[in-house]
Amino acid sequence: MKNLRHCSSSTFVIIFIHILVTHNEGFDPVIQLPHSNRTLTRSKRVLSVVDYGAKGDGFHNDTKAFLEAWKIACSLNGSVKVVFPFRKTFLLHPIDIAGPCQSKINLRILGTIVAPRDPLVWHGLNQHKWLYFHGVNQLTVDGGGRINGMGHEWWARSCKINTTNPCHPAPTAVTFHRCKNLKIRKLMLLNSQQMHMAFTNCMSVVASRLKVLAPAFSPNTDGIHISATRRVEVKHSLIRTGDDCISIVRNSSRVRIRNISCGPGHGISIGSMGKSETWERVQDIHVNGAYLYNTDNGVRIKTWQGGQGIVSKITFQNIVMENVSNPIIVNQYYCDSQKPCNNQTSAVKVENISFIDIQGTSATEEAIKFACSDVSPCEGLYLENVFLASCMGGNTSSYCWQAHGSTRGLVYPHTCFSSSNDFLRQKVGLDSSPAIQSI
Ligand SMILES: *[C@@H]1O[C@H](CO)[C@@H](O)[C@H](O)[C@H]1NC(C)=O
Ligand SMILES: *[C@@H]1O[C@H](CO)[C@@H](O)[C@H](O)[C@H]1NC(C)=O
Ligand SMILES: *[C@@H]1O[C@H](CO)[C@@H](O)[C@H](O)[C@H]1NC(C)=O
Ligand SMILES: *[C@@H]1O[C@H](CO)[C@@H](O)[C@H](O)[C@H]1NC(C)=O
Ligand SMILES: *[C@@H]1O[C@H](CO)[C@@H](O)[C@H](O)[C@H]1NC(C)=O
Ligand SMILES: *[C@@H]1O[C@H](CO)[C@@H](O)[C@H](O)[C@H]1NC(C)=O
Ligand SMILES: *[C@@H]1O[C@H](CO)[C@@H](O)[C@H](O)[C@H]1NC(C)=O
Ligand SMILES: *[C@@H]1O[C@H](CO)[C@@H](O)[C@H](O)[C@H]1NC(C)=O
Ligand SMILES: *[C@@H]1O[C@H](CO)[C@@H](O)[C@H](O)[C@H]1NC(C)=O
Ligand SMILES: *[C@@H]1O[C@H](CO)[C@@H](O)[C@H](O)[C@H]1NC(C)=O
């Protein structure tokens, strides 16, 4: 275990990087538009935005062309492809792409889609949205291309970058709202204005082979945000941004996350929850297989005081951390506002949370932190085979406040759970079945 104490030389880390990072260049330019006679009939069902007037020069406003192609695709029967061709750059202004559709649409992004650079384009429009899909069933978005939010101007105007700026919202690059049976795969998302991709009020989502990239300093640029969504799989993806790699909030459940490489960024987060005294329930989340590198947090649960509801049945498993500042953290005193938050008499309950097979290095001494609520202590915390060494040499430590639970196997640093047996719980039953069928 000796070489675990160096932040960048652990053998398992190198193996993990090899698996996760070196093999991720799978963004091949896939589509060949059909040429053979037989596929020509089928090619009526392939609509290229170029045929609807898109210039693809990165300068002209291609929004109308896309909307027209979408409208036609949406009204057809059966399976239809809408294509953004290879080697072209399409400038899209903020748009609503609406369902329901008669057809099953496959949006193939082979080239690049870019946003307007200038936030003034959003004047008079909803500042939270750029590409906003809603009410679509059975949509697949793929193609190996890129979606670039061109976020630099938005970041410069953020109150997190310059505190003299007023705090304004900024767009989520791609939002799927009230979508069902959604598949997103093989795409690169870059430099989004704020969050990169959000699923809100959706049902049955598979996101795989995504590459999400933005600078570490870019504010609030979460990779994948899951809100009020049930049955989600996120897998085989690389996320390097300025905020949470994956965040899960508001009544989401049955989320499966595996083979994720994350960092820099703020790690994998449940929450924040309970802001502005809301009631929320996040449950049945299983993260199995993640590599976190140089992140501010590893696996985290964050709730605001004053909220209500519950976070339960969460498992973080098979996780490798390297130079992570707060590898394991539950914070029920989360306060991401410019004024300090007052102590409140209610809290989101945190119960039955397991941390299993988690190894690596911590950039701070305090590798495990359970800062639970006075009014609603954490119950059923469970740690098994956890080893978090210090990056700086020396011992790591853990912090507990109102934290109840149990451990099994080697756990380092040792936990400081309150030993009240009333609160000892068995580990959360692991349900290994996938959330939905694999793609
Ligand atoms: C398609 O094939 C048929 C016969 O198989 C032929 O008569 C027709 O000319 C072909 N059409 C095109 C556009 O090549
Ligand atoms: C771009 O095109 C869309 C669709 O026609 C239109 O609504 C929007 O105003 C255009 N934006 C600019 C800046 O021209
Ligand atoms: C789609 O299919 C339905 C019934 O299957 C039919 O009534 C309708 O005319 C078809 N529409 C088109 C555009 O082909
Ligand atoms: C912050 O913004 C103010 C005004 O918006 C500007 O004068 C100042 O130079 C900015 N500071 C930095 C560090 O960019
Ligand atoms: C893990 O994800 C990466 C992409 O980040 C992919 O290249 C690799 O094949 C995946 N590994 C497995 C075992 O599926
Ligand atoms: C979560 O669901 C409950 C009941 O199903 C609802 O009352 C609550 O408003 C929801 N919370 C949020 C944040 O959507
Ligand atoms: C560890 O992470 C911090 C940021 O959290 C970074 O400044 C530092 O350079 C990293 N150290 C190594 C050895 O990568
Ligand atoms: C909230 O409670 C904590 C500990 O119970 C205390 O240290 C802190 O000062 C309190 N904060 C406020 C704003 O009252
Ligand atoms: C937590 O786990 C215990 C023991 O398995 C179970 O009795 C309890 O209902 C669970 N709580 C929640 C909120 O799932
Ligand atoms: C680390 O902990 C061990 C056991 O508690 C102790 O003997 C040792 O002195 C500690 N090392 C440092 C650098 O504090």
Instruction: Give per-residue pLDDT as tens, 170-223.
Output: 999 999 999 999 999 999 999 999 999 999 999 999 999 999 999 999 999 999
State whether the beta carbon of 321 lies less than 6 angstroms from ligand 7: no
Rg (CA), the chain: 22
What's residue 39's pLDDT?
A: 40
What's residue 428's pLDDT?
A: 42
Contact in structure between 198 and 155 (CB atoms under 8 Å): no
What's residue 278's pLDDT?
A: 87
Contact in structure between 126 and 96 (CB atoms under 8 Å): no
Contact in structure between 405 and 417 (CB atoms under 8 Å): yes
pLDDT band, very low/low/confident/very high, at 342 (cuts 50, 70, 90): confident
* Nearest-CA residue for atom 9 of ligand 7: 294
Instruction: Quick: pLDDT tens for 256-273.
Output: 999 999 999 999 999 999
What's residue 6's pLDDT?
A: 58
- Nearest CA to 298 out of 274, 273, 330 is that of 330
Cα 5 to averaged position of ligand 10 atoms, centre (Å): 14
- Nearest CA to 272 out of 300, 293, 314, 295 is that of 300
β pairing state of 349-362 and 308-324: parallel
User: Mean pLDDT across the chain, nearest whole number?
Assistant: 88
Residue 32 scores a pLDDT above 70: no
Nearest atom, ligand 10, residue 394 CA = 13
Distance CA 244, CA 311 (A): 18
* Nearest-CA residue for atom 1 of ligand 9: 352
pLDDT band, very low/low/confident/very high, at 297 (cuts 50, 70, 90): very high
Residue 434, φ and ψ in degrees, nearest 5? -70, 155
Mutate to test the pocket of ligand 6, among 251, 273, 311 (most ligand atoms within 8 A of CB): 251
Instruction: Quick: pLDDT tens for 80-106.
Output: 999 999 999 999 999 999 999 999 999
Contact in structure between 272 and 313 (CB atoms under 8 Å): no
Which tops the pLDDT comparison, 371 or 36?
Answer: 371
- The residues, any chain, with a CB within 8 Å of residue 366's CB and separated by 6 or more, are 326, 396, 397, 398, 399
Distance CA 362, CA 327 (A): 6
- Give the side-chain half-sphere CA count within 13 A for 92: 28
Cα 396 to averaged position of ligand 10 atoms, centre (Å): 9
* Nearest-CA residue for atom 2 of ligand 9: 352
Instruction: Quick: pLDDT tens for 118-170.
Output: 999 999 999 999 999 999 999 999 999 999 999 999 999 999 999 999 999 99
Residue 434 scores a pLDDT above 70: no
What's residue 81's pLDDT?
A: 97
- What is the share, in percent, of the chain residues with pLDDT greater than 70? 85
Average pLDDT over residues 409-420: 85
What's residue 336's pLDDT?
A: 83
Query: For the whole prediction, is pTM greater than 0.85?
Result: yes
Residues forming the active site: 266
Residue 261, φ and ψ in degrees, nearest 5? -110, 130
Distance CA 177, CA 421 (A): 44
What's residue 419's pLDDT?
A: 59
Mutate to test the pocket of ligand 6, among 275, 279, 311, 348 (most ligand atoms within 8 A of CB): 279
**Which ligand sits nearest to residue 74's alpha carbon?**
3
Contact in structure between 270 and 302 (CB atoms under 8 Å): yes
What's residue 13's pLDDT?
A: 45
Residue 14 scores a pLDDT above 60: no
For residue 151, the SS3 value is coil
Average pLDDT over residues 394-406: 96
Average pLDDT over residues 229-245: 98
- What is the share, in percent, of the chain residues with pLDDT greater than 90? 80
State whether the beta carbon of 63 lies less than 6 angstroms from ligand 2: yes
pLDDT band, very low/low/confident/very high, at 305 (cuts 50, 70, 90): very high
What's residue 84's pLDDT?
A: 98
What's residue 44's pLDDT?
A: 62
What's residue 99's pLDDT?
A: 95
Q: Where are the alpha helices (DSSP H) in 18-91?
A: 37-43, 63-75
pLDDT band, very low/low/confident/very high, at 58 (cuts 50, 70, 90): very high
Average pLDDT over residues 345-357: 96
What's residue 202's pLDDT?
A: 98
Residue 419, φ and ψ in degrees, nearest 5? -90, 10
